[in-house]
Amino acid sequence: MPLALVSLYDKTGFLPFAQRLVQAGWTFLASGGTAEALRSAGIEPLDVAAYTGSPEMLGGRVKTLHPAIHASILARPTDADLAELEARGWKPIDMVIVNLYPFEMTAADPSAGADEIIEQIDIGGVALLRAAAKNFARVCVVCDMTDYDAVAGEAEAGGISLETRQRLAAKAFARTADYDAAIARWFSRQEAQPSGSFVVEGRVERPLRYGENPHQKAFFVMPADSGKDQGPLGGRVLAGKELSYNNILDLDAAWRAVLDFERPAAVIVKHLSPCGAAEADELTQAYRLALECDPISAFGGIAAFNRPLDAATAGALKDLFLECIAAPAFEEEARRLLASKKNLRLVEADPALYARVRQELRSAAGGILVQEPDRGDPADTELRVVSERKPTEEELAALRFAWTLVRHVKSNAIVLARGRAAVGIGGGQTNRIDAVRQACERAGMRAKGAVMASDAFFPFPDGVEAAAAAGVTAVIHPGGSIRDDEVLAAANRLGLAVIHTGIRHFRH
């Protein structure tokens, strides 16, 4: 009778699989909780400790790490190997059914301590999978419950094919590779400056129709430890066409930006940069103010909201052509109102997604650039009023809003704001004065009485002079230019209030 070794952390779906194997003539070798589960189903397994002649050690940490187990798995179907097993009283193990301790899930839990995470590093299970996968010529290895039905079907039909054993071996090696990569990644995060190999791993969540342009192939990869039902932005697409490469990029930019605001907020993004953003007491008002910033650029853009999308806001959205809408949830009436837009993608996104992101990756020059995300100003950042005139309370509120938004705009970046709404945005320019002029031009008459934020310092006085000419009354920027004194002198001469942050927020 063929023998299956079973060692499972997650026993979901296993007992029906085991019953089918028993009917097909299989017996089991197991220990601990897996053996108890089999007995509860009326299946009596051989006990691992009895088979090896060695009791479990260290509170169960050592069970299957024994020559009797690994020789029984690794034995080739040769007379010499089988005779050596028989001489020691051991049997060939023909199937290994193993899933691993949930290291990835534990490491992703913010409340888990280092000791708890390290305890979830599986040793014996990985060794079993690798041994069985190496010997796929004789042994079937099962590490994924989705394969239970197919394996049972072949066992019932008379035997598991070499093709299936090789396919499952490849799957087992992929699983152990992902598992070890997750462990290596966690340890590298504990170092102030990682050294040695840098591990990048994930799973292909979906192929995409094409990349930025139709002649470019593309697909979307998610971390291996993400949930199977998760999609872009850690959520799911509720309606509309399949997301494109460019949609996902713009969704990322919009979702990152809108989550930075505490009050109900809306952000509209086009080509990776905000073209409108606002906070308000109600979501609908926030959207209307965001749209007013640049309604021409908003056409064909992506809108993101930091509150569940309600019917009133959905009604306001119906008149604008958008590619996607992202929100933490969508009220049923809102979905019904937007249902007539068959191509509009509705993305239910995870508000906690970016809190879990520890690294950002970008390809460059045949390699990978890795950095921590820009999460805004450090906690000890001090906003210093450096001008002769202090900002009013109204100006200060608008300056804080503009400073929050400007770090999401492509450098060189300028944001003009009134109240808690952007009225003009200039970004992606090769010099700062052009970004100022662009923002002022888009604001038009609304620049009068507005405030201005710049993602980096002003290298010359021309930026603040152009802003003042358009009617801007206050400015916030990092400072730090060798011409700060000239810039500040111009601001004082023009009656501008100026705040230095000491923090730069380039976004390339």
pLDDT in tens, 307-339: 999 999 999 998 899 999 999 999 999 999 998
- Specify if 372 maps to a domain: no
Q: Which residues contact 48 (CB under 8 A, 6 or more apart)?
A: 29, 30, 31, 35, 56, 63, 64, 69
| Cα separation, 194 vs 368, whole angstroms | 14
**Residue 299 sits in the same domain as residue 178:** no
Catalytic residue among 11, 70, 241, 271: 271
Distance, CA of 461 to CA of 459 (rounded, Å): 7
Q: Which residue has the higher pLDDT, 204 or 302?
A: 302
Pairing of strands 218-223, 202-208: antiparallel
With respect to residue 175, please indicate whether it lies within any of the assigned structural domains: yes
Which pLDDT value is given to residue 271?
93
Give residue 60's pLDDT: 64
Q: Looking at the structure, do residues 64 and 7 belong to the same domain, yes or no?
A: yes
Residue tagged 């042994």 (tokens): 139
Write out pLDDT tens, residues 110-169. 888 889 998 888 888 899 999 999 999 999 999 999 999 999 999 998 888 999 999 999
Residue 339 lies in a domain: yes
What average pLDDT does range 236-245 have in this prediction?
Answer: 87
The distance of Cα 410 from the centroid of its chain, to the nearest Å, equals 21
Whether the bond into 412 is cis, omega within 30 of 0: yes
Q: Is residue 355 part of a domain?
A: no
Using 50, 70 and 90 to split pLDDT, how confident is the model at 36? confident
Given 304, 326, 348, the domain boundary residue is: 348
Structural domain containing residue 165:
3-189
Q: Do 220 and 171 share a structural domain?
A: no
pLDDT value of position 233: 81
Whether 11 and 74 share a structural domain = yes
Q: What is the separation of C-alpha 197 from the centre of its chain, rounded to a whole number of angstroms?
A: 21
Last residue of a domain, one of 326, 348, 370: 348
* Same-domain pairing of 171 and 97: yes
Amino acid at 248: I
SS (H, E, C) 325-380: EEECCECHHHHHHHCCCCCCEEEECCCCCCCCCCCEEEEECCEEEEECCCCCCCCC
In a shared domain, residues 341 and 398: no
| Pair 335, 464 in one domain | no
Query: Residue 201's pLDDT band (boundaries 50, 70, 90)?
Result: low
505 catalytic residue (yes or no): no
Q: Tell me, yes or no, whether 8 lies in a domain.
A: yes
Q: CATH code at 274? A: 3.40.140.20
Q: Is the per-residue pLDDT at 64 higher than 80?
A: no
Residue 359 counted as domain residue: no
Assigned token pair, 44: 């009596």
pLDDT at 396: 97
Instruction: Pick the last residue of a domain from 301, 322, 348.
Output: 348
Does 468 lie in the same domain as 338? no
Which residue, chain included where needed, has tokens 């779906």?
A: 13
Give how many domains the chain has, as a whole number.
3
Q: Of all residues in the chain, what percent carry a pLDDT higher than 70?
A: 96
Read off the CATH number of the domain in which 24 is found: 3.40.50.1380
Catalytic residue among 11, 70, 134, 171: 134
Judgement on whether residues 341 and 391 belong to the same structural domain of the protein: no
Q: In terms of domains, do 184 and 240 share one?
A: no
In a domain, 424, yes or no: yes
Judgement on whether residues 420 and 477 belong to the same structural domain of the protein: yes
Residue-wise pLDDT for 391-407, tens only, equals: 999 999 999 999 999 99
Q: Please check whether residue 165 lies inside any domain of the structure.
A: yes
Closest by CA position to 316, among listed 344, 279, 283, 293: 283
In terms of domains, do 269 and 311 share one? Answer: yes
**Residue 134 annotated in active site:** yes
**Cβ count within 10 A of residue 339:** 13
